[in-house]
């Protein structure tokens, strides 16, 4: 049985598109997973348009519509849980989830980050690596824990920084590597399962 994925987005959704394309090309049986819904923390983003174009149900839970961050987190968890996902993928989802979300999806909530963690966590991984003068950077696919980009690492991809790079150019090259990595990792998790041993992720 193909595993059920809910994908969370906040922006352009090119990582979501890469997953959609891989599933469409390979078929759910071969890839091992299907996307059952796409969630977001804001309206009017290209990521949601991509989901709608693919005929997928979407949901939006905006922080400002809730009295507290905890209520937002519970609402996001509830909306996600309604689709009974086996795995949840944060693909450019720019919010830190809270206790309730992690209680339900911890250990099966995957994030992709545009830097080589533990270097340059947070919302500006590309800009921070560039400003630091790093010569290589890349992307990290990891499980989410209760820190900011601190969870167990599943896979990483390396990208060289060029002298002429600005944030946009470097991010574009990172995203090329990132999309392939995410598609590969999610497929392997779906087909083979995984266990987390301390900080180590094992995909048998
Ligand atoms: C990706 O590069 C992802 O790593 C990054 O946002 C981009 C989303 O692109 N996420 C973060 O920076 C999270 N801290 P996309 O919307 O085109 O998939």
Structure tokens at 28: 């759910």
* Ligand 1 pocket mutation, candidates 112, 137, 173, criterion most atoms within 8 A of CB: 112
Helix (H, G, I), strand (E, B) or coil at 162: coil
Within a domain: residue 131? no
Its domain, for residue 94, covers 3-112+142-157+177-202
How far apart, in whole angstroms, are the C-alpha atoms of residue 93 and residue 149? 12
Within a domain: residue 38? yes
Count of domains in the chain? 1
Distance from CA of residue 129 to its chain's centroid? 20
Mean pLDDT of the chain: 98
194 is annotated as an active-site residue: no
Within a domain: residue 132? no
Assign 3-state DSSP to the chain and report helix, strand, coil percentages, each to 5.
Answer: 40, 25, 35
Within a domain: residue 55? yes
Spacing, Cα 166 to ligand 1 middle (Å): 16
CATH of the domain at 63: 3.40.50.170
The pTM (predicted TM-score) of the whole model is 0.98
Q: Per-residue pLDDT tens for 118-164?
A: 999 999 999 999 999 999 999 999 999 999 999 999 999 999 999 99
């Amino acid at each position: 049985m193909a595993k059920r994925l809910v994908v969370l987005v906040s922006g352009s959704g090119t990582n979501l598109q890469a997953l959609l394309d891989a599933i469409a090309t390979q078929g759910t049986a071969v890839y091992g997973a299907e996307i059952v819904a796409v969630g977001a923390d804001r309206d009017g983003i290209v990521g949601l348009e991509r989901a709608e174009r693919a005929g997928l149900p979407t949901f939006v839970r905006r922080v400002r519509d809730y009295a507290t961050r905890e209520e937002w987190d519970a609402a996001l968890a509830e909306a996600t849980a309604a689709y009974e996902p086996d795995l949840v993928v944060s693909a450019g989802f720019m919010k830190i989830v809270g206790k309730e979300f992690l209680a339900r999806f911890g250990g099966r909530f995957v994030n992709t980050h545009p830097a080589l963690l533990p270097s340059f966590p947070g919302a500006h991984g590309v800009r921070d690596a560039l400003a630091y003068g790093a010569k290589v950077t890349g992307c990290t696919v990891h499980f989410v824990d209760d820190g900011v980009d601190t969870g167990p690492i599943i896979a990483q991809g390396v990208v060289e920084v060029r002298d002429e790079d600005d944030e946009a150019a470097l991010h574009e090259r990172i995203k090329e590597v990132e999309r392939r990595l995410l598609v590969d990792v999610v497929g392997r998790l779906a087909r083979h399962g995984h266990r987390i041993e301390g900080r180590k992720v094992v995909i048998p």
